[in-house]
Amino acid sequence: METTIKILVVDDESRMRKLVCDFLVKRGYEVLEAADGEAALDIFYTEKDISLIILDVMMPKINGFEVCKEIREHSKVPVIMLTAKSAESDELTGFDLGADEYISKPFSPKILVARVDAILRRTNQAEEGHALEAGAIVVDRAAHIVTIEGKQIELSYKEFELLTYFMENQGLALSREKILNSVWNYDYFGDARTIDTHVKKLRSKMGSYGECIKTIWGMGYKFEVGE
């Protein structure tokens, strides 16, 4: 890789941390490690060029949810949350706090690295892309900024990706499966609530323009801007 990309891995299990780190280093990433939430935040505030954070939920001192919440107050850096819990409420909590991915333990390190690659690839593509416009909505992929009627709206990384995908496919009926495979880049084995949660938050942040994201009952969504 031409430039070294920094990834912060946060997990109180040293064996799990080493396993994940070894796979990431083999892929050419620079890896920083933290054994608890407090140490993770210290590194986050010290290192200003972290490209992605892999964050365990169950940790001493400060848990992953609290770490994610604090990070989101300062940064849109992509966050992948790891958890031994499979409870749906935990997953939705993670997404509500601004997590971009949610992977349950046990998992294959190869799958995790594939997710990391996909997120960073899309981030880089966004930097190289051009602006998308639909009525008063403008998505500047280079600056990772969305404006509506000239006013900037704050979106998480995943909300930005979702809106970009909708605008790239204006007028097309998009199934939840298609959205998951395109925006999340993998076959998601959960249920549709992952998308529905993100769409609900995106609509809310878009105000009256949230109506541009239309629900197709029993299928998915369609993005249309009225005349």
pLDDT in tens, 128-152: 556 788 889 999 877 788 999 999 9
- Name residue 213's amino acid: I
pLDDT in tens, 45-77: 999 789 999 999 888 888 888 999 999 888 888
Average pLDDT over residues 26-39: 92
Percentages of the chain per state (helix, strand, coil), in multiples of 5: 45, 25, 35
Does the reported pTM lie above 0.75? no
Task: Give Cβ neighbours of residue 179 (< 8 Å, ≥ 6 apart).
Answer: 162, 165, 195, 220, 221
Going through 105-142 in order, the beta strands assigned E by DSSP cover 131-134, 137-140
The mean predicted confidence, pLDDT, of the chain is 84
Average pLDDT over residues 25-41: 92
Q: Which domains does the chain have, with CATH numbers?
A: 6-124 (3.40.50.2300), 130-223 (1.10.10.10)
Strands 30-34 and 6-10: parallel
